[in-house]
């Protein structure tokens, strides 16, 4: 299984986990139903690329996205105001770090 397939499966799992916390009443909030404008803007450059240019841009984006996610999850794990969400963020950090290492190993 290649990196992109692994990311799809991992993100489906983490989304389902979070959705379960929300539906179970442990976490208050709503699951996003679509990409927001900032996310769309980040992805837009990929649409015009192919081949090695696409691959290079995708790898860079994956590295940056996982670094941002680790920072966000780490901050919430330390300072969040919802105990269940803090535990989930803490338990997800190991996988996020693994994903970043995988992204860093891509050539």
Rounded to 5 degrees, φ, ψ at 83 are: -60, -45
What does pLDDT average to over the chain? 92
Residue 44 or residue 28, greater confidence:
44
| Tokens 């991992």 found at | 10
pTM attached to this predicted model: 0.87
pLDDT at 24: 85
pLDDT digits (tens, 9 = 90+) for 54-94: 999 999 999 999 999 999 999 999 999 988 889 999 999 99
pLDDT at 32: 87
Among 103, 92, 93, CA closest to 14: 92
Q: What residues contact residue 43 under an 8 Å CB cut-off, 6+ apart?
A: 35, 61
């Amino acid at each position: 299984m290649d990196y992109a397939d692994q990311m799809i499966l991992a993100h489906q799992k983490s989304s389902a986990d979070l959705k379960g916390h929300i539906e179970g009443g442990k976490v208050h909030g709503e699951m996003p139903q679509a990409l927001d404008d900032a996310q769309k803007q980040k992805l837009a450059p990929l649409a015009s690329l192919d081949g090695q240019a696409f691959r290079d841009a995708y790898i860079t984006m994956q590295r940056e996205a996982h670094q941002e996610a680790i920072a966000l999850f780490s901050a919430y794990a330390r300072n969040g105001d919802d105990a269940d969400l803090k535990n989930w963020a803490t338990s997800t950090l190991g996988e996020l770090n693994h994903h970043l290492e995988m992204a860093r190993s891509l050539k």
